[in-house]
DNA sequence: GCCGTTTTCGGCCCGACTGTTTTCAGTCG
């Protein structure tokens, strides 16, 4: 059983307890455990198999450890089954509707016998719901609205798609006099791989005028809430956008608060309370004196708490606060550390630009090296290279290297890993290349055992340097393959092979938790943009962000090494 | 249910907005 499934069960438990109006701190404990498990870098299954204690997971104590163990070993949890049996059927379905919480759900099921969203819709239309105490016409109307929103709610969208939307909105708002510091916070700033809504924030002389302009934007289809400091709207594409504006001198605490994650903020506030400090978006309040201290910068905010500055990408409520307290946070890799790109296509296979054009663009990026890795012939659609054409390309690259002294071009290939794990090109040609990337592109639906064995066979090939986009997922479009990633990490570590973070926003593969775990095992990471046009070189920033979410330092990523070091590393 | 350089018992994050209320509960992030 995967961590995401375990997390789901504990989230459901928290919801059911909330409906039963159980102790709210008990509810919070289950909720916290669910969130932590969801973001855990290591599969609990593996931890248990290795005899590792679950008590080291923050928020997991005696009771929850026992429940997890039962769930993983038997596939069922007695406590959860009983809880479900005791609760009105369909009640958790109602909680998915925006605007319905545990109290409302409880009233709807107990007083009207509602068991599904369809039941609820009918009851609202018949007027029954509006007659309940504490629910009136407007509330019933709002719930109906929530049902519609739920039904048309699009999936979370890949983070690469939200930046243009955000720039569009902020560009307009920036023209308002007296507004400053407009920026995206929330999951966008933490660089979560998908985004459910966009959180925007800023400071202004007069917050209300900015909010009025925001809800009046042509992109806004519908206004959900609007007050003097915050507003929520639905944009034309169906995406929700929230804007929060405070006065200028609270910028540091506002952006901290609005960046989240929620779990990080809860833990940070708990930590602060122990020091007698209460945190909010307006600043830090001394509990004893009631005096509030304001912060112009986020750095100042963390420093005041006695912490190292915590980068947004690692604010997921794992161990970042205790490490910041010990001043033990790593210096995360940054875009400036990157000296080259290891995954690039040209019009020799399915790329759109010539070899020369791609090299020139890479030079403009300030890179000192670049690997050209066109597809191998097995990929019919990709106009892949056979042995002869690959040899010709190697000659071209050799000439290019003589002509352009500013940048070194590695001759490489992205060789297809065939269904049985063999490679699509003979060893003797692979041996002549500077760098060999291997990747799965077909028969992605093989079962776990088959596809894992297939991948490990490729890792064991003495010619393979890097495994590209290891899970083959396409965000929002194609689920990752059934591959056993822990086994892949172990094999990569054993054979000193490099794993790629594919930087294309539709892939981001490896993902953050995978990177964390692979790095922990000592696996070298390489960033590859998989560029098919030179403008896609800019995807590098996405890959860097994923590496940061995996707590990578410069030393963990091959792209930060000097040309000589890369040569040496590939030669080993 | 979890947790502890103030505690193994007694705490547990903080504020905005809405609607149904005569002072606040519910929901959300």
Domain coordinates in residue numbering, chain A = 3-153, 157-246, 251-325, 335-571
Residue A348 burial (CB count, 10 A): 19
Confirm whether A251-325 and A335-571 share one CATH topology.
no
Smallest CA–C1' separation from A134, nucleotide: B20
Q: Which of residues 337-396 of A touch strand B (CB under 7 A)?
A: none
The counts of H helices and E strands in chain A are 24, 17
Residue A347 burial (CB count, 10 A): 15
Residue nearest to nucleotide B18 (CA to C1'): A225
**pLDDT at residue A381 in the model:** 63
pLDDT digits (tens, 9 = 90+) for A192-206: 998 888 999 999 998
Q: Which of residues 245-284 of A touch strand B (CB under 7 A)?
A: 262, 265-266, 269-270, 272-274, 276, 278-282
CATH topology of domain A251-325: Beta Polymerase; domain 3 (3.30.210)
pLDDT digits (tens, 9 = 90+) for A135-157: 888 889 889 888 888 887 666 78
> Residues 6 or more apart from A380 whose CB is under 8 A from it?
none
CATH of range A3-153; options 3.20.140.10, 3.40.50.2300, 1.10.150.110, 3.40.50.720: 1.10.150.110
**pLDDT at residue A453 in the model:** 97
Element (H, E) at A70: helix A62-74
CA–C1' A380–B26 (A): 58
**pLDDT at residue A405 in the model:** 75
Element (H, E) at A169: helix A162-173
Q: Which CATH class is domain A335-571?
A: alpha beta
Q: How many residues does chain A have?
A: 572
Q: Tell me phi and psi for residue A472, to 5 degrees.
A: 65, 15
> ∠ CA A258-A264-A266 to the nearest 5 degrees?
90
pLDDT digits (tens, 9 = 90+) for A64-88: 999 999 999 999 999 999 999 988 8
- Residue A529, pLDDT above cutoff 80: yes
pLDDT digits (tens, 9 = 90+) for A228-276: 899 999 998 888 999 999 889 889 999 999 999 988 998 999 899 888 8
Q: Which of residues 123-142 of A touch strand B (CB under 7 A)?
A: 130, 133-140, 142
**pLDDT at residue A571 in the model:** 85
Question: Looking at residues A419-428, what average pLDDT do you find?
Answer: 94
Q: Helix or strand or coil: residue A261?
A: coil
pLDDT digits (tens, 9 = 90+) for A325-354: 999 999 999 999 999 999 999 999 999 999
CA distance A497 to A492: 5
pLDDT digits (tens, 9 = 90+) for A353-385: 999 999 999 999 999 999 999 999 876 666 789
Architecture of the domain defined by A157-246: 2-Layer Sandwich (3.30)
CA distance A55 to A69: 11
The owner of tokens 């090939």 is A461
A105 touches strand B (CB under 7 A): yes
Q: Strand B: list positions under 7 Å from protein Cβ.
A: 1-3, 6-7, 11-21, 25-29
**pLDDT at residue A382 in the model:** 65
**pLDDT at residue A175 in the model:** 92
CA–C1' A1–B12 (A): 31
- Residue A51, pLDDT above cutoff 80: yes
% residues pLDDT > 70 (chain A):
99
């Amino acid at each position: 059983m995967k961590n995401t499934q375990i997390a789901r069960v504990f989230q459901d438990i928290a919801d059911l307890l909330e409906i039963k109006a159980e102790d709210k701190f008990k509810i919070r404990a289950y909720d916290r455990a669910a969130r932590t498990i969801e973001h855990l870098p290591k599969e609990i299954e593996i931890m248990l198999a290795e005899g590792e204690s679950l008590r080291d997971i923050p928020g997991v104590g005696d009771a929850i450890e026992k429940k997890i163990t039962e769930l993983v070993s038997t596939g069922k949890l007695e406590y959860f089954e009983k809880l479900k049996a005791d609760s009105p059927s369909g009640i958790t379905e109602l909680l998915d509707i925006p605007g319905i919480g545990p109290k409302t759900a409880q009233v709807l099921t107990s007083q009207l016998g509602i068991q599904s969203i369809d039941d609820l819709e009918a009851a609202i239309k018949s007027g029954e719901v509006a007659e309940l105490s504490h629910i009136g016409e407007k509330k019933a109307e709002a719930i109906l609205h929530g049902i519609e929103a739920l039904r048309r709610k699009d999936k979370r969208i890949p983070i690469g798609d939200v930046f243009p939307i955000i720039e569009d909105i902020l560009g307009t708002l920036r023209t308002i006099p007296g507004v400053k510091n407009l920026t995206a916070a929330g999951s966008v700033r933490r660089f979560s791989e998908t985004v459910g809504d966009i959180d925007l924030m800023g400071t202004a002389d007069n917050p209300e005028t900015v909010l009025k302009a925001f809800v009046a934007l042509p992109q806004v289809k519908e206004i959900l809430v609007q007050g003097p400091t915050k507003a929520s709207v639905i944009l034309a594409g169906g995406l929700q956008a929230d804007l929060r504006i405070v006065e200028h001198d609270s910028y540091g605490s506002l952006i901290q608060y609005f960046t989240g994650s929620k779990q990080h903020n809860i833990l940070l506030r708990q930590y602060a309370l122990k020091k007698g400090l209460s945190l909010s978006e307006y600043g830090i309040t001394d509990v004893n004196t009631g005096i509030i201290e304001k912060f112009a910068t986020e750095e100042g905010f963390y420093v005041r708490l006695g912490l190292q500055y915590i980068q947004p990408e690692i604010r997921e409520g794992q161990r970042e606060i205790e490490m910041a307290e010990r001043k033990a946070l790593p210096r995360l890799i940054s875009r400036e550390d990157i000296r080259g790109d290891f995954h690039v296509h040209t019009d020799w296979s399915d790329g759109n630009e010539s070899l020369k054009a791609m090299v020139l663009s890479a030079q403009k990026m300030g890179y000192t090296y670049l690997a050209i890795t066109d597809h191998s012939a097995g990929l019919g659609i990709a106009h892949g290279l056979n042995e002869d054409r690959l040899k010709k390309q190697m000659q071209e690259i050799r000439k290019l290297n003589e002509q352009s002294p500013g940048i070194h071009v590695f001759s490489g290939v992205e060789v297809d890993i065939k269904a049985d794990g063999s490679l699509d090109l003979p060893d003797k040609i692979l041996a002549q290349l500077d760098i060999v990337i291997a990747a799965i592109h077909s028969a992605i639906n093989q079962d776990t055992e088959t596809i894992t064995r297939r991948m490990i066979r490729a890792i064991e090939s003495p010619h393979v340097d890097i495994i590209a986009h290891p899970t083959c997922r396409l965000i929002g479009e194609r689920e990752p393959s059934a591959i056993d990633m822990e086994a892949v990490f172990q094999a990569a570590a054993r054979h000193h092979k490099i794993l790629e973070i594919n930087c294309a926003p539709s892939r981001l593969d490896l993902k953050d938790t995978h990177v964390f775990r692979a790095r922990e095992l000592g696996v070298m990471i390489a960033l590859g943009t998989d560029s098919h046009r030179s403008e896609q070189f800019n995807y590098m920033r996405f890959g860097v962000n994923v590496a940061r979410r995996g707590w990578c330092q410069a030393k963990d990523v091959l792209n930060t090494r000097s040309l000589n070091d890369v040569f040496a590393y590939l030669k080993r």
